[in-house]
Structure 1
Amino acid sequence: MTAKTMRAARLYEGGKPMVIEQLPVPQIRPTEVLVKIKACGIVPNLHNILTNWVNWFPHNPLPKLPAIFGLDPTGVVEAVGAQVYDFKVGDRVYVNPGRHCGSCRACRAGNTIACSAYTFNGYFGFTPKSPRMFEDYPYGGLCEYIPAPQYSLVKLPDNLSFETAARLGYLGTAYKALLRANVGPGSTVLINGISGTLGLGAVALALAMGARKILGTARNQALFQRVKDLAAPGRIEIHTLGSVPTQQWVAEVTQGEGVDVAIDALGPGAPHESLVQALKSVRRGGHLVNIGAIAGEVPIDLHWIMDNDIHISGSAWFTTGQGQAMADMVESGVLDLSFFEHSVFALEDVNQAISGIESRNGGFGNFVIRP
């Protein structure tokens, strides 16, 4: 029998600690399930959202405070609504936090990430309609129970732990970018920020998708060999940012060919030069996909891009179907995520987890809350 109350971490003011409170267990609508949380990921960007977001990105609205944050929840289905078709009590699931309305033109065309009200449940919104979506979905993953629409659920195989599945958000961001750039056998891929949270996920997925050569840029040389060890010798090579320009290094490694795809996984504070150099590393007809949120206006040579038939894309998040594909790849053994080092915290220690994540071991570290 489901409890009547639950513990939840709520934020009352940006920059201040979250407060653990007792709240009623939420009710579910007919097309939702109630998930008992087993693990919820803490990502590096959460600290930015809780302290700097209003000033950095005022066009991306946050939920009205007090609010329950938490982007990447995993758990077990506790109850199902009357109109839920394919899930049952006891199912192990990841909850994709991307919320869409289902009725706008983009949703009706099946392009749910382009929804005019697209919002990250428990995180931030993308459009002026996001505040309404936050009202409809006020429960992030930093609590004991959340309601989740059936469209958001990824079924987890037994060989994918709740702690590892709580990383599917950042993994999925990289996966969608690689799909967008048609990465597969024969592809050469450059990953800016290869040892970080986003970049390391891009490595694991590019390997699973058959990329023949992965190049990367990073600053933390202590992690270089660990990243290289994820594949056979020579399949991954890494360049230290700040030495020679990235495009010069790529030209040397590829004998002047350049790479098919560049994935920029550097964060908002990274210098624009890093992205521009990655772009200049792309071969004729190649593709750069930005997933790291480098901020501001980046200078690019549009004439060179036109003459060389270069593609530049932004890629935001991933669909639940793509999340299921990743889970299926783990089940089959194609996608190996065994390199994660889990740091597990109780819900009462959520503030310690958020403040301590900067000391993680690059992308290898995985911070999770276990309520």
Structure 2
Amino acid sequence: MSTKMMRAARMYECGQPMVIEEIPVPQIRPTEVLVKVEACGIVPNLNNILTNWVSWFPHMPLPPLPAIFGLDPTGVIEAVGDQVYDFKPGDRVYVNPARYCGSCRACRSGNSTGCTSYTFNGYFGFTKNSARIFEDYPYGGLCEYMPAPQYSLVKLPDNMDFNTAARLGYVGTGYRALRKAGAGPNSTVLINGISGTLGIGVLACALAIGVRKIIGTARNEALFQRVKDLAPAPAGRIEIHQLGSGSIEDWAYDVTKGDGVDIVIDALGPGAPQETLLDAMRSLKRTGTLVNIGAVSGQLPVDIHRMMDQEQTLMGSAWFTTGQGQEMADMVESGVLDLSFFEHNTFPLEDVNKAINGIENRAGGFGNFVICP
């Protein structure tokens, strides 16, 4: 009996093009499902990240090469293992790439994000134990079929297409940050980088959970009105400050009539100046919280005495749980979370190198780049 084969994009060397190869369709373990990948989300600067990752973040290991990357896969379940309980062939799913061991103290207490082996399948690891996770889960989403543990699966509603679901990773990062900060209908939230890949997801989730006032910073003024138009009536629920045009702190206190903000979600990337984050942080009211999800890099000179006096919180937030992924899918199903604004740019697997190398995204976070194997 011949072995069933599939196409996969494999990277043999950082900075070099991925190679499309024919490899055997993977086998699944009893607690896994086999997913036929329909779409896999990517970020436009993925090639830059993979080229420089080893020097930028040597403490966060990549999978051993050659590797199949692909962080945000969606698709249809082709087969299920003998010990899979709540899924069946034909189910439409998003595969949360967060992998954890299930047996360390954090996992046993229900804190999977705190796992001592926490790893992004198809991307990078967070601990020295990630090497073992990469051995157990060597298939990212840039291939035709991938195994996935049942704990990683989000059931997709009929009104959520695969391309939109392939953006759940970045939307979910914002959703978890808002939840960790306690955002809700009584909150005023400032989003640093509101029109970007992460920021637009934070905004969509903030609108969905009823945040009453959302202000943000961004560079591309051409996108400001499009961002504001995402909010239903009343007008003025979203206000935007152009970065580089003056103090964020002064502006934030002005638009909040002197109150300041309850929450800052910093969605700016590693190349952003630290002062932008610090300026936004100074807009926090007493007991306010800043959550960093964009990874502004370097040692941050924080006024810890002021934070103590004001009882403020500074925290990081990485990714989201599968349960939170299901919450977002359920909100899409009910119509509370509207992700219809994404502009999908799809590429076949054969064009993966074109898709990850040098795409100019003039649409900011509205652009959604997807590989469709």
Q: What runs of 5+ residues in structure 2 fail to find an aligned partner? A: none
2:364 maps to 362
1:91 counterpart letter in structure 2? D
Equivalent positions of 1:321-332 (< 5 A) are 321-332=323-334
Contact 2:92/2:156 (<8 A) preserved: yes
- Indicate the residue corresponding to 1:251 in structure 2: 253
1:292 aligns with 2:294: yes
Match for 2:73: what amino acid? P
SS in 2 for 1:368: strand
2:132 corresponding residue in structure 1: 132
TM-superposed deviation, 1:47: 2.5
> What is the match of residue 192 of structure 1?
192
The separation in 2 between residues aligned to 1:88 and 1:149, in whole angstroms, is: 13
Displacement of 1:131 in angstroms is 1.0
CA displacement at 1:156 relative to structure 2: 0.1
- SS at 2:305 equivalent: helix
Distance 1:44 1:258 in 2: 34
1:28 aligns with 2:28: yes
Aligned residue identity for 1:16 = Q
TM-score (norm 2): 0.98
The separation in 2 between residues aligned to 1:331 and 1:323, in whole angstroms, is 13
Report if the CA contact (8 A) 1:74-1:93 is conserved: yes
Q: Residues 114 and 358 (structure 1 numbering): CA distance in 2 closer, same or farther, change over 3 Å?
A: farther
Task: Classify the secondary structure of the residue corresponding to 2:306.
Answer: helix
The question of 1:237 aligning with 2:239 is answered yes
Q: In structure 2, what is the equivalent of residue 353 of structure 1?
A: 355
| Cα displacement (A) at 1:45 | 5.1
Residues in 1 aligned to 2:75 and 2:28: alpha-carbon distance in whole angstroms: 16
Q: Which residue of 2 aligns with 1:165?
A: 165
Measured after TM superposition, the shift of residue 243 of structure 1 is: 1.1
Q: Report matched runs for 1:107-122 at 5 Å.
A: 107-122=107-122
In structure 2, the residue matched to 1:340 is: 342
Q: Secondary structure at the match of 2:327?
A: helix
Contact conserved, 1:357 with 1:367, CA < 8 A, in 2? no
**Contact 2:68-2:122 within 8 A present in 1 as well:** yes
Q: Count residues in correspondence.
A: 370
Matching of residues 1-371 of structure 1 within 5 Å: 4-44=4-44, 46-231=46-231, 232=233, 233-371=235-373
C-alpha spacing 1:45/1:97, structure 2 compared with 1 (3 Å): farther
CA contact (8 A) 2:45 2:358 kept: no
Q: Distance in 1 between matches of 2:301 and 2:220?
A: 26
Q: Tell me the distance in 2 between the aligned counterparts of 1:46 and 1:129.
A: 24
Q: Percent identity?
A: 74
- Give the residue type in structure 1 aligned to 2:160: L
Offset of residue 132 of structure 1? 1.0
TM-score w.r.t. length of structure 1:
0.98
Specify every segment of 5 or more residues in structure 1 that has no aligned partner in the other structure, as ranges: none
CA contact (8 A) 1:68 1:140 kept: yes
RMSD of aligned residue pairs (Cα, Å): 1.0
Could you tell me which amino acid in structure 1 is paired with residue 220 of structure 2? N
Q: How far apart, in 2, do the equivalents of 1:306 and 1:264 lie?
A: 20
Secondary structure of the 1:9 match is: strand
Deviation at residue 360 of structure 1 after TM alignment? 4.6
Distance 1:129 1:159 in 2: 38
